[in-house]
Amino acid sequence: MNLIRLTKSDIQNFIKEHEEDDPHQLMLASSRWPDLPIKSIVAQIQSRRKAKKKLPKWYNTSGIIFPQSIYLEQSSSEKTAEFKAAQIIGKSLLDLTGGTGVDCSFFAANFDRVVYNESNEELLDIARHNFNQLGIENVSFIHSEAEEFLRDNKETFDWVYIDPSRRQGGQKVFRLPDCQPDVINIVQSILESGSKILLKLSPLLDISEGIREIKNVSKVLVISVDNDCKELLFQLELNKSETTFEAINITNSGISRFEFVNGEEPNAVVNFGEPLRYLYEPNASVLKLGAFKLISEKLGLSKLNPSTHLYTSAQLLPDFPGRVFRIMSSNPFNWKDLKRWNGKKANITIRNFPHTVEAIRKKVNIKEGGNVYLFFATSVENKLRAITCEKI
């Protein structure tokens, strides 16, 4: 990538003028613009499209150069980066695996000094350019492997942020031993130097396995955006015996949280019952943390079944960390009763149920969409139920 050429006004104008064009057709017609680096321009167009929703501030900032799409895939969104930046403050931070620089750009607002380290020189050059466009002036840029930087570094940072690469041989990976750098082997030396660590991991990682492998985990955060699980974060501090778990869901209307400490979930006491007036479905972050019993005990809700992660109450709980529904009817599951939905629209969810959504739609001819929500689930005493709801 010719970074200097891409920053020129003629290239930037061309990118904006052709942003909605078909990239394939642009490549085929590249002979029309012999003086322009069409391949690099097409890559910018593709990356800008991904960034439009994910990184609106960057998208709307003049002169931003976007890295290849493959790097944007692992990059944090603006919403998750902003949330992370609000969790940690101090005088100095090291971003050991700087990457696209999205997280680092938000951390910089809360620290006097930030060091961005990255082994990919092209990514580093792009980040340095973009930080200049964004007016960020308190970041130093270093080009080195993570292990090399730690070996030569003499400075102690308040926080070290690590987002290891989760690609190996072109394939996505999520287990810690498969990521680069090998965080299992480097976190202990970082902690012993006096720093705290914020570690970003794949939401596919088994949390219990990760805690066993890394140790010194003081906090686990699962971050969802609009109920889509995006990030798993570990905060590490030396000699921390208790781990706090927090489920986060970020929406346009605000941030919902559900927090507990290790040991609470196994000891939680659950009440089970048939559907009452309201039905509750926990958000993706709560489910990822496995707070299946605790959410019932803490919020005073009945659970439909030990293996059915749906909850119910007679009185409305408006601040539930998930979706809330008003139950219109709750009946024993019966294929004949479902015939009244033939050709109609409904949103279908199954929980601990022997039939798939696709099988139900096909057999009854229920179309997707509409304002009605059908839940098919196993309730107490292993009864199959069809629960008709409207969303609150």
DSSP tag of 63: T
Q: What share of the chain is helix, strand, coil (3-state, %, to 5)?
A: 35, 30, 30
pLDDT on residue 184: 92
255-260: long-range contacts, CB 8 A cutoff, minimum separation 24? 255/83, 256/283, 256/319, 256/321, 256/322, 257/321, 258/285, 258/286, 258/289, 258/291, 258/295, 258/321, 260/291, 260/294, 260/298
What confidence tens digit (pLDDT) does each residue in 297-326 have? 999 999 999 999 999 999 999 899 999 999
Report which of residues 5 and 135 the model is more confident about.
Answer: 135
Residue with tokens 């229920």: 366
Rounded to whole angstroms, the Cα distance separating 293 from 303 reads 8
Residue with tokens 């929703």: 53
**Domain residue spans of the chain:** 3-54, 73-261, 267-391
8 A C-beta contact, residue 93 and residue 160: yes
8 A C-beta contact, residue 366 and residue 344: yes
**Is the per-residue pLDDT at 169 higher than 80?**
no
Mean pLDDT check: name the lowest of 161-175, 320-334, 340-354.
161-175
**Is the per-residue pLDDT at 26 higher than 70?**
yes
What confidence tens digit (pLDDT) does each residue in 110-157 have? 999 999 999 999 999 999 999 999 999 999 999 999 999 999 998 999
User: Quick one: which H or E segment has residue 17?
Assistant: helix 9-17
Average confidence (pLDDT) over 49-73: 92
Q: Distance from CA of residue 270 to its chain's centroid?
A: 29
Rounded to whole angstroms, the Cα distance separating 305 from 353 reads 11
Type of residue found at 1: M
Percent of the chain topping pLDDT 90: 85
Rounded to whole angstroms, the Cα distance separating 276 from 389 reads 11
Are the folds of 73-261 and 267-391 the same? no
Q: How many CA atoms lie within 13 A of 53 on its CB side?
A: 6
Rounded to whole angstroms, the Cα distance separating 1 from 43 reads 10
Length in residues, the chain: 392
What confidence tens digit (pLDDT) does each residue in 94-114 have? 999 999 999 999 999 999 999
**Is the per-residue pLDDT at 9 higher than 90?**
no
Q: List residues bridging with 201 in a β-sheet.
A: 232
Contacts of 72 by beta carbon, 8 Å cutoff, 6+ apart? 47, 50, 51, 54, 66, 100
Rounded to whole angstroms, the Cα distance separating 201 from 306 reads 29
Rounded to whole angstroms, the Cα distance separating 1 from 120 reads 13
pLDDT on residue 93: 97
Closest among 285, 289, 235 to 262, alpha carbons compared: 289
8 A C-beta contact, residue 264 and residue 294: yes
pLDDT on residue 1: 61
- First vs last Cα of the chain: how many Å apart? 50
Rounded to whole angstroms, the Cα distance separating 303 from 258 reads 17
Q: According to the CATH classification, is domain 73-261 in 3.30.470.10?
A: no
**267-391 CATH choice from 3.30.1890, 1.10.472, 1.10.390, 3.30.2130:** 3.30.2130
Strands 217-225 and 278-282: unpaired
- Dump the DSSP string for 145-185: -HHHHHHH-----SEEEE--B-EETTEE--SGGGSBS-HHH
Supply 231's token pair: 């990030």
Report which of residues 168 and 131 the model is more confident about.
Answer: 131
